[in-house]
Structure formats: C-alpha cells, structure tokens
Amino acid sequence: MNRHQFSTAVLKPTLHKIGLYSHEAERLLIGTAIQESRLKYIVQLGGGPALSYFQIEPDTIHDINENYLKFRPSLKEKADYFKVENISVEEQIVWNMALSVVYARLHYRRIPEKLPDADDLTGQARYWKRYYNTALGRGTEEEYIANYRREIE
C-alpha cells in the first residue's frame, strides 16, 4: 500500500470516526508509520514484539486499554467499533489497519503536550522521538526527517 492510499482510505476516515482527527495528528501519524515501518512491515523485523505499520508493542496496547480507555467509556466505545470480537487486539492490530491507527492515535492522545504544528517537521520528529520511540529507542529525529522527506517529497 502506498502512503496516499493509506492516508486517504484508512488514516483520515479512522481518525474522523473516533473524533480525533486534526491535520497535526494526520501528519504525525503518517510520519510515525513511515519512520517505524516505511509503510511496509506489519511485524517487527528480527522477531521483536512490535506490530502494525506503527510498530506498536503489546505492552503499549495493554497499557492503553487498562490505564486510558478503561476510564474513558465514550472513547473506548469508539475504539471498540473497529475491533473484531473474539480476537485479541494484539492479533488484530497486524491486519486491522484501522485499529492500528486507533491505537497509535491513542498513544499520542495520552500525552499532555499538544501535537506539533502540521508543517513543523522538526517538531514532529522531536515529538515522535520523545513520546513514541523514547530516549531508549534506536531511532533519531534526523532519521525521521530524512525518511519523511524521502517518502513525501
């Protein structure tokens, strides 16, 4: 799938459906997917635990469910709309692209700092590194920017 199809057919409609669309969120999530998986890999290379284009780890999914959605029933209901019954989120998130968008967006939604402006690529890279990849992650802000530019421009 190419970036444009993913953005128009999956990302934007999903964000609108859960009521968490903004141009800033769209740009940050597409940048995150590009950086994390190049929009190619749905399971972590080398056998790690990360899943989907966003490379979300099962522990993160569990944390979002137990420490965020559990206390926000209306948002949980919106997220649940995308789930297939009787299949764990961890299993689904690999092939259920809309659900992976939901969890990536919720991961960022929990952050009290506002999203960087849509046109601030440096700010997006910094935000991704600080809150998604973290100081322990191997990714860098420079790599995020280079990958984004290569894919978008």
Residue 78 pLDDT: 97
pLDDT single digits (tens) 87-136: 999 999 999 999 999 999 999 999 999 999 999 999 999 999 999 999 98
Distance CA 34, CA 54 (A): 8
- SS (HEC) of 71-125: HCHHHHHHHHCCCCCCCCHHHHHHHCHHHHHHHHHHHHHCCCCCCCCCCCHHHHH
Number of residues that make up the chain: 153
Angle at 92 between CA 70 and CA 85, to 5 degrees: 65
Predicted confidence band at 83 (pLDDT cuts at 50, 70, 90)?
very high
pLDDT in tens, 127-143: 999 999 999 889 999 99
pLDDT at 11 over 90: yes
Per residue in 27-80, pLDDT (tens digit) is 999 999 999 999 999 999 988 999 999 999 999 999 999 999 999 999 999 999
